[in-house]
Amino acid sequence: ETRAGRFVRQHVDYPKTSAPNNRIYCNLLMQRRGLTRPRCKPINTFIHAPTSQLRNICGRGGRPVGDNLRDSNRSFGVTTCRVLPGSQPGRCRYRAATRVTRVRVACVRRLPVHLERTYLP
């Protein structure tokens, strides 16, 4: 798996996967994307936008903020999943928060490879 491919697997969900509620969404997606083994990943953010829009942050759709980091010019819908205390690998449970926010990504060869953070403009 390439770094860019891992970024997509861990952080891109477009169109947003359907689930009865956001808590179930997080539990489902974290498991489906392989983020619950060998341990429950403590926090992960899914961005609900096409991969092409996220790639664009590494070009004209973003502005440099030092090193290989770039801030998106536009906001995206995101769901952030945080692990609940007492979760065990294989039975990880998450709480969810959704919002519309800008993102900061690390780019390598004009492709996003790491989600640094989300922030409000």
Name residues whose C-beta falls within 8 Å of residue 15's C-beta, 6 or more positions apart in sequence.
Answer: 48
Separation CA 60–CA 43 (nearest Å): 29
Q: What does DSSP assign to residue 109?
A: T
Nearest to 21 by CA among 84, 74, 97, 92: 97
11 is catalytic: yes
> End-to-end CA distance of the chain, in Å?
32
- Choice among 4, 10, 11, 13 that is catalytic: 11
- Whole-angstrom Cα distance, residue 43 to residue 113? 17
How many Å is the Cα radius of gyration of the chain? 14
Catalytic residue among 16, 48, 93, 114: 114
Catalytically active residues are 11, 114
